Amino acid sequence: MLMNSNSNHLNISRRVARIFLLSVLLGISNVGLAEPVDSDALLRTIPESFKSAASQYSLMLDGCKGDPKIPRSYEGGQLKMVAPKDWTSGFFAGSLWYLYEFTHDPKWQAAAVDYTARLESIKDYQGSHDVGFILGCSFGNGYRLTKNPAYLEIMNQGAESLTTRFNPNVGLLRSWDHGKWNYPVIIDNMMNLEFLIDVSKQAGKSRYREIAFSHADKTTKNHFRDDSSSFHVVDYDPVTGEVLAKKTHQGAADGSSWARGQAWALYGYTMMFRETGNPVYLSQATKVADFILNHPRLPADKIPYWDFDAAAIPDVPRDASAAAVMSSALIELSTKTTGKASSQYLALAQQQLISLSSPNYTAKVDENGNFILMHSVGNMPANSEVNVPINYADYYYLEALLRYRRLKETL
Ligand code: GLY
């Protein structure tokens, strides 16, 4: 990982050199993203990556036995455990579902059922937009894999709670109730629409879909700059629905491109196009993808700095979580596009997954607090979770590996 010292700078150079060597071995060129990648080589590493993930999460489960909370991150040698209302509470259960999906081992199903059940109270939680993240990753994956009708009932109630945050004057779901804002909407909120659409399909509630479309449409209108990068927070007037301010909360500056924010936008619009076929959403997804792909400060290993405009680049931390979200989204986007664009999106996802699966980002078993990936950034301005493992990086990484395997199986 990159930090502010000369010795770290040397380590970084060695790591970049190792990635370059790995890329050469896999037939990838660091210049020219449209270069063909030896995709079979990446495919062959997936069982090994899941094996290492399973070893880490087995140790994690053992270490957390008896604690009702949920592992979120590992900072300063301490495991950070959170309650269901924390926005990240659904990712650990989600990763357990992905381990079950890959291995079919009932051990993972039992663990996933346990960590999913811990989140049931969120079905009645109206205090944040994150209900979609929390219940979608846990109950949503659980329902997809087991069709347990009790899960659908909980998801239904959760969607009802989430939609209490929709104000028709504004046409958007309100993200937060805290802070100095009037009616804050963050780009991350695009990710909660998948949950609403999913429940709408399963339970036949068209209102949830309509709310999701309204949210996405208004976000398209107000959240993006001329270069197609996304602001983090747009604050609205709750009575008139007018935009009051465009700001950041977790980025380097109001006008900067916070890496995970770009990742949420890319993923959110790719998902919206999958669910609707609306070309406006595809166009937004490809514009964000192109912004990332062509960015002069996207490093050679394709794992972004925590903010594309961070002042001290290259001596600032990377954000593996942003890369994990991006790679998962890009695999899907490559299937919705054709020609050079499609190959470029897939090549970028492949390069990100190769980097994330390398020892530069994947921890050794029994290290890293038993999380899979190292080097994510939670909230740099608050100096919180900087260059640490975080559960959502692991979740989207496993998802991307599963998506990649599925893509290759269907070719
Ligand atoms: N949704 C909060 C974050 O990405 O940090």
- pLDDT digit string (tens) for the chain, length 411 residues: 222 333 333 333 334 333 433 443 343 333 334 445 566 889 999 999 999 999 999 999 999 999 999 999 999 999 999 999 999 999 999 999 999 999 999 999 999 999 999 999 999 999 999 999 999 999 999 999 999 999 999 999 999 999 999 999 999 999 999 999 999 999 999 999 999 999 999 999 999 999 999 999 999 999 999 999 999 999 999 999 999 999 999 999 999 999 999 999 999 999 999 999 999 999 999 999 999 999 999 999 999 999 999 999 999 999 999 999 999 999 999 999 999 999 999 999 999 999 999 999 999 999 999 999 999 999 999 999 999 999 999 999 999 999 999 999 887
Find the 31 Cα to ligand 1 centroid distance in Å.
Answer: 31
Residue 114 CB neighbours (<10 A): 12
- Per-residue pLDDT at 39: 61
| Spatial distance between the Cα atoms of 119 and 221, rounded to a whole number of angstroms | 34
| Spatial distance between the Cα atoms of 165 and 183, rounded to a whole number of angstroms | 10
Find the 87 Cα to ligand 1 centroid distance in Å.
Answer: 8
- Closest ligand 1 atom number to CA of residue 321: 4
Element (H, E) at 343: helix 339-357
Q: Is 72 in the pocket of ligand 1 (CB under 6 A)?
A: no
Pocket test for ligand 1, best of 128, 188, 380 (most atoms within 8 A of CB): 188
Distances (CA, A) of 365 to 20, 51, 258, 325: 24, 10, 30, 23
Please report, for the chain, how many H helices and E strands are present, in that order.
14, 9
Find the 389 Cα to ligand 1 centroid distance in Å.
Answer: 14
- Closest ligand 1 atom number to CA of residue 191: 1
- Per-residue pLDDT at 40: 81
Find the 37 Cα to ligand 1 centroid distance in Å.
Answer: 31
C-alpha dihedral over 313, 389, 401, 101, to 10 degrees?
Answer: -160
Which residue's alpha carbon is nearest to atom 5 within ligand 1? Answer: 378
- Per-residue pLDDT at 151: 98
Which residue's alpha carbon is nearest to atom 1 within ligand 1? Answer: 188
Write out the catalytic residue numbers.
Answer: 130, 188
- Closest ligand 1 atom number to CA of residue 133: 1
Which residue in 357, 339, 215 sits closest to 281, CA to CA? 215
* Residues in the chain, overall count: 411
Count of alpha carbons within 13 Å of 94, Cβ hemisphere only?
Answer: 25
Cβ atoms 46, 360 nearer than 8 A = no
For 181-222, give the secondary structure using H, E and C.
Answer: CCCEEEHHHHHHHHHHHHHHHHHCCHHHHHHHHHHHHHHHHH
Find the 215 Cα to ligand 1 centroid distance in Å.
Answer: 18
DSSP of 105-153: -HHHHHHHHHHHHTTGGGGG--S-TTHHHHHIIIIIHHHHHH--HHHHH
Per-residue tokens: 331: 């695999």
Contacts of 344 (CB under 8 A, 6+ apart): 33, 34, 293
| Spatial distance between the Cα atoms of 156 and 200, rounded to a whole number of angstroms | 8
Q: Is 188 in the pocket of ligand 1 (CB under 6 A)?
A: yes
Q: Is 250 in the pocket of ligand 1 (CB under 6 A)?
A: yes
Q: 273 phi and psi, to 5 degrees?
A: -70, -40
Find the 6 Cα to ligand 1 centroid distance in Å.
Answer: 30
- Closest ligand 1 atom number to CA of residue 260: 4
DSSP of 21-71: HHHHHTT--SS-TTS---HHHHHHHHHHHHHHHHHHHHHHHHHHTT--SEE
| Spatial distance between the Cα atoms of 299 and 227, rounded to a whole number of angstroms | 19
- Closest ligand 1 atom number to CA of residue 186: 1
Contacts of 217 (CB under 8 A, 6+ apart): 171, 280
Cβ atoms 292, 319 nearer than 8 A = no
Q: Could you please state the CATH topology (level 3) that the domain comprising 9-67+290-411 is classified under.
A: Glycosyltransferase (1.50.10)
| Spatial distance between the Cα atoms of 138 and 91, rounded to a whole number of angstroms | 7
Strands 233-236 and 243-247: antiparallel
